[in-house]
Structure 1
């Protein structure tokens, strides 16, 4: 699998990944950033908690942060794919005047593919890349298609905030249930109903994203594994690949190559 990554500390609100031969990501997961995906050939089944969509070569899919989903091959000819991660706080700072809680497919991927190729090009100035990216955001996120508001649940959000602050600690369900004065059974049901993930799966997602952040600092991968709360490097490798379709070593190699 050939992979390229564009990431620059001056444009720390975005990250682009190109994969020559996309593989399946069957495990339900989420990303902390908004993601945009496009294919050059073949199609993917994008499944959510209660629905699914087919991503075809003439489309892009936009999935907001913390939306549970997976992706499976619709046929065996899926090739060349791009995944762009965008920080939601940055999008909000652009003052586009729309909600960012949505999932939709959009026709005509040409402008997105063009953006991806420019971002990956080594001979294009950073200023030009940034300007093209902002122009893409202004044109894309002004569209309002199939907007899906995310339900807000005060208890489940408080539980999520607690997990976000304590995911590196050695906590058990009883610790969390005592924090909110609820039973373990109620805790599991409330969280799963709102976010579509088991609590342990959500914590693994948090650890994987923490590891991805640490990989930018050229730390040894074993050190990244320990600092992001994994038992060892192999545990990190398995979890990281399920979410990002490449190993921590491949990710780090592409950043610093």
Structure 2
């Protein structure tokens, strides 16, 4: 089994290990450094306390320091790289990674990481070139990761906003009050929601009300009462909104349903 390690006292903030034939590491363990791992063949199952992820070629996984984990191979896995990076190095560069772990499915980032590993293992490459390549990778990787992390946080925020709307869309509220519930400015609230769902908040609420009215139209309730029950000002307001979405009026929709009963 071929195995190589790059470790140099002049670059004491980094260590790289390469192994040709990847073996299981079933014992839970942790590292004092942040680790970045990639493989070229097969797959690797990384197990954490309450979950697991599967690492494949063209992906990399970053695991924070002090995070217990183990690893098993799901098939014949070859060419594994593990980069150990001290957190102080990242701190000095104003880079930060706060998640426990993250699976990055980005082919360009993967290629950049493999290129860095090859550079570090090449004895013909000078230390200054190795260090420069490490910095450039960290600049690209952690900038990407921060963007991904921000996106995930905003996506989660948008889902929480949607959940609240789904449960309370019949209530009367203004955006200022709504934004306060999520500790946001109105501008941020509007931007996050529209970016995730492609609709302004008021359009989403109107859409929910129209679909509620559509369900109620299958009953014997009068259309004027349906308008009131689904949060419209009056029947004409319901008519306009309903026709805008379904291209027919509520009365026409109801008539077509009952004519087939």
Q: Give the structure with the larger helix fraction.
A: 2
Give distance in 2, aligned partners of 1:99 and 1:110: 20
Aligned partners of 1:112 and 1:101: how far apart in 2? 19
Partners of 1:99 and 1:11 in 2: CA distance: 21
> Could you tell me which residue of structure 2 aligns to residue 127 of structure 1?
128
Distance in 2 of aligned mates of 1:146 and 1:132: 24
Which SS does the other structure have where 1:4 is aligned?
strand
Superposed structure 1 runs of 4+ greater than 6 Å apart = none
What is the 5 A alignment of 1:190-209? none
SS in 2 for 1:141: helix
Could you tell me how far apart the structure 2 residues matched to 1:39 and 1:11 are? 24
Question: Where does residue 98 of structure 2 map in the other structure?
Answer: 100
Greater relative contact order (Cα 8 A, min sep 6): structure 1 or 2? Answer: 1
Alignment size in residue pairs: 147
1:58, distance to aligned residue in structure 2 (A):
1.0
Is the 1:35–1:83 Cα contact (8 Å) retained in structure 2?
yes
Is the alpha carbon distance of 1:42 and 1:127 closer, same or farther for their aligned partners in structure 2, counting shifts above 3 Å? same
Normalized against structure 2, the TM-score is what? 0.54
CA contact (8 A) 1:104 1:146 kept: no
SS at 1:19 equivalent? strand
Residues 40-119 of structure 1 aligned to structure 2 (within 5 Å): 40-75=40-75, 77-96=76-95, 98-106=96-104, 107-108=106-107, 109-119=110-120
Q: Is the 8 A contact 1:22 1:81 kept in 2?
A: yes
Q: Return the alpha-carbon distance in structure 2 between the equivalents of residues 99 and 61 of structure 1.
A: 12
CA distance in 2, matches of 1:99, 1:146: 9
Name the Cα RMSD after superposition: 1.8
Q: Does the CA contact (< 8 Å) of 2:112 and 2:137 recur in 1?
A: yes
Unpaired runs of at least 5, structure 1: 150-257
Deviation at 1:100, TM superposition (A): 3.2
Rounded to whole Å, the distance in 2 between the matches of 1:90 and 1:100 is 15
Gaps of 5+ in 2: 154-261
Contact 1:102–1:146 under 8 Å retained in 2: no
Q: 1:4-62 deviations in whole A, cap 9, x for unaligned? A: 00001110000000001010001111001000110010000111111110000110110
Indicate whether 1:31 and 2:67 are aligned.
no
CA distance in 2 between partners of 1:42 and 1:137 (Å):
26
Q: Determine if contact 2:97/2:142 at 8 Å carries over to the other structure.
A: no
- C-alpha separation in 1, matches of 2:52 and 2:118: 28
Q: Any conservation in 2 of the 1:22–1:79 contact (CA below 8 Å)? A: yes
Residue 99 of structure 1 deviates from its aligned partner by: 4.0
Normalization by structure 1: what TM-score?
0.55
